[in-house]
Chains A and B, each alone.
Chain A
Amino acid sequence: MSERSLQGENLHLWRGDRHVLRGVQLSLAGGECLQVTGPNGTGKTSLLRTLCGLMYPEEGRVLWAGQDVRSDLPGFHADLAYIGHEPPLKVDLTPRENLYYWIGVRRRISRPELDDALERVGAEQWRDRPVRTLSAGQKRRVALAGLALMAVPLWLLDEPTTNLDAEGQRLVGKLIEEQLLRGGLVVAAIHHELPVPGATLRRLELAHE
């Protein structure tokens, strides 16, 4: 049984004068997926970034495996993958090179591992072209390959299916399902339904003030 658990306790966050997060509570255990929904501007991205430790809540705290993440932020970061709205890729490098540097800074990675992951997302044909020549959907796929390669228990995803076709969306679902089966945790801000079994899916709806 996984000891991995993510908790958000009474999270309050202000952006300027706006009270964006108003006492958000969440609890997630290994093998569970949290779907964060809500209209634009209700703080989905802010919540994800607060859970990452990038944003600092004025009140409340985030707990990973029972410990306040602030007590060991680098250790927490080594356990998580965060993918924001835009895939974090350098446009002048190829997908292969991007993944080599992006993942390599975190963990030792071998060329076969990289190529396997790229093949998994359907990128063998264009893995050596500069990212600036790729479509938005292709860039998103490279980001998904990176996500899989990171090999971390916690995934924080902001609109992971943006720009993906139906097949791409199925791929996202498959990746999340595998992550959950491994005992990992997924928090995803997503507009539509996540294709994961109902038992493992929790929901959090954010609303305007």
Chain B
Amino acid sequence: MAWTWFHRLGSPPYIYALAGRLTPWFAWPAGALIVGGLYGGLVLAPPDWQQGDGFRIIYVHAPSAWMSLMVYTTMAVAAGTGLIWRMKVAHAVAASCAPIGASFTFAALVTGALWGQPMWGTYWEWDPRLTSELILLFLYLGYMGLRSAIEDVQRADRMSAVLAVVGVVNVPIIHYSVTWWNSLHQAPSVMKLAKPTMPPSMLIPLLMMLLGFTLFFFAVLLVRLRAEVLSRERSATWIREAVSP
């Protein structure tokens, strides 16, 4: 029973239709949560006792950083699924994830740099988390670079899937080694807030933003996935019926 569900997911026409139906269910809640979270974080939450209003960028920075990792993991799982079970749709999912994840990573880096500037007077400080984010960006760029360098779509899918799986195994190693490296040199980190625990007024908007970003990711993924499926299946017969109104 579960197996037929899994196999149906592998059918491009089914996925195309399903993705179209699901998108609003993710998009609208995502919008609501993000708007609510921003209002809560930028307006309602009290200023941090040490950093003042500067800390507020955490409401964009932290969810972006979290998503950059989550998307990479999703991408690797999808790619691995496509590799093992030879599912074209899984590869399409992985391909759709990559630019979204890279954008989140870039956003995390930019917001991290903007956070650092007023606090420590410099945009970049080789903070361990930002450095890990930078290396993650390189991993995304490598993945997208490999895909674009291989002309045959099937081969590009499978080669980049191997890379994605290798990359996801390396992410914790890279994170650990960068943290280790940073601790040797005792560089101060700007990312930690002074208080050990966050009051609910700060925490709730943060969680809202986190959930909002996650739903936003799924919504964008579904839209990209439809486009990706269309592009891959352009010579198939089901396309005509699906696309014409």
Question: Which residues in A have some Cβ–Cβ distance to B below 8 Å?
Answer: 15-17, 56
Contact = CB atoms under 8 A, between A and B. Distances in A.
A63 B86 CA distance: 20
B30 to A, nearest CB: 36
A16 B152 contact: yes
**Interface majority SS (helix, strand, loop, mixed), chain A:** loop
A16 B154 CA distance: 7
B235 interface: yes
Contacts of A17: 235
Interface residues of B, number: 5
Nearest to A18: B235
Contact of B86 (A15, A16, A56): A56
B153 interface: yes
6 contacts: A15-B152, A16-B152, A16-B153, A16-B154, A17-B235, A56-B86
Interface string B214-240: 000000000000000000000100000
Contacts of B86: 56
B184 to A, nearest CB: 46
Interface string B128-161: 0000000000000000000000001110000000
Nearest to B154: A16
Contacts of B154: 16
A17 B152 CA distance: 10
Interface string B142-186: 000000000011100000000000000000000000000000000
A16 B153 CA distance: 7
A22 B3 CA distance: 28
A16 B156 CA distance: 11
